[in-house]
Chains A and B, each alone.
Chain A
């Protein structure tokens, strides 16, 4: 069933191939490093006739998401892609996309937000739209980025969900690094994704409706409550789609991945490519008889809080690694895990690492497990200067 041999592709190229196989009707997009190779590869494939997609070269990311909303609500399958400042500029409209229940699939090459201006990976861009109501899935490597992209339209377009789905991959670390990737056959992806049909399509003039109506204090809260319900439903749909995808490929891409979590006393919780490094350190410490594990989060939104609690409450120590900071408050993932574990006996340790593309070395991960690491892992200077 799987097409031929694995191909050597970067994460960006892998996702572009997934997009080509999904063949969205419309892709409004604006280039930005490190997302550019995604749309560049996709545009080349479209120009070569591999997909029949209307690519709209818009003048900004704000326009990209605005056009994507119109397109998705009109009844066209719609995708886009961005990074960092692009996502920041788009943020206002990302909230609107979620509230108008536009099932847009968006590839994100995660990159640090300015300033200082930087082009390398951290998750501050994703965290900026954390509360917008969009689904956010994080990939560990190029294969996962491809797989999650193939799954994304099914999640986004499910009638109980109808929300944007962001498929996030670490900028450069994944977007620009070539790895062997198994691509599915085109027909298989097309069959898996299926057609997009929207019952209340904007262009269905025989059933007119007002989309995005004004909501006063008597209705705004009900809208937001309904939106919360939609993203909760996405949790169930992610599981269903992951089951089906696993049946097709043998690869499981559920909301969480447990790596030696069963019976572990010490567990790291993390998102993205650093999971690969952490798994190596888990193997090494397990060989030295230390009961350590990794809980990798693919679905950051909706975050499966109940499962997190079940899986982590037996661990004596839980180390949350955030690749974004919340100056003056708790880092975003640490805050979520603390919420999930409220009332449990596990000790929670919060670490911030990798800002602006700073590497996370195995020694640093070892220090985290051995409780020798400072809150800010890998920064020069003392934790508490004299």
Chain B
């Protein structure tokens, strides 16, 4: 949506569909470190995926494969709920 739409191009109520929706890297807002995933400890219970207030946990089927740092805000909820100590907060990679 780099081009601003005209009023007569908006659908009823201005409903935004996924195709029109910009995907800004909201992970930019993250402060105070980020969760690191140790896949060797992960039991793929998916509690992190369930509790994540965004959609930072990437799955292949029902198996956890990684973290999308473009959207992770570093809230630490996943670290709290992980029963296998597979998640721990760490400094930013580039910090």
Q: Which residues of A contact B (CB under 8 A)?
A: 99-102, 159, 162, 200, 207-213, 215, 218-219, 221-223, 225-226, 229-230
Contacts and interface: CB of A to CB of B under 8 A. Distances in A.
Contacts of B13: 99-102, 162, 211-212
Contact of A223 (B4, B14, B18, B21): B14
A211 B10 CA distance: 12
Given A100-B13, A162-B13, A200-B12, A208 B7 contact: no
B72 to A, nearest CB: 21
Interface string B24-41: 000000000000000000
Given A213-B16, A223-B7, 18 more contacts: A99-B13, A101-B12, A102-B13, A200-B15, A208-B18, A209-B17, A209-B18, A211-B13, A211-B15, A219-B4, A219-B14, A222-B6, A222-B10, A223-B10, A225-B7, A226-B14, A229-B7, A229-B8
A230 B14 contact: no
CB-based closest 10 A-B pairs? A225-B7, A101-B13, A222-B7, A101-B12, A210-B16, A209-B15, A100-B13, A226-B7, A226-B10, A162-B12
B5 A222 contact: yes
Contacts of B16: 209-210, 213
B61 interface: no
Interface of B: 4-8, 10-18, 21
Contacts of A229: 7-8
Q: Please classify the interface of chain A as helix (H, G, I), strand (E, B), loop, or mixed, using the class held by over half of its residues.
A: loop
A215 B14 CA distance: 9
A222 B12 CA distance: 12
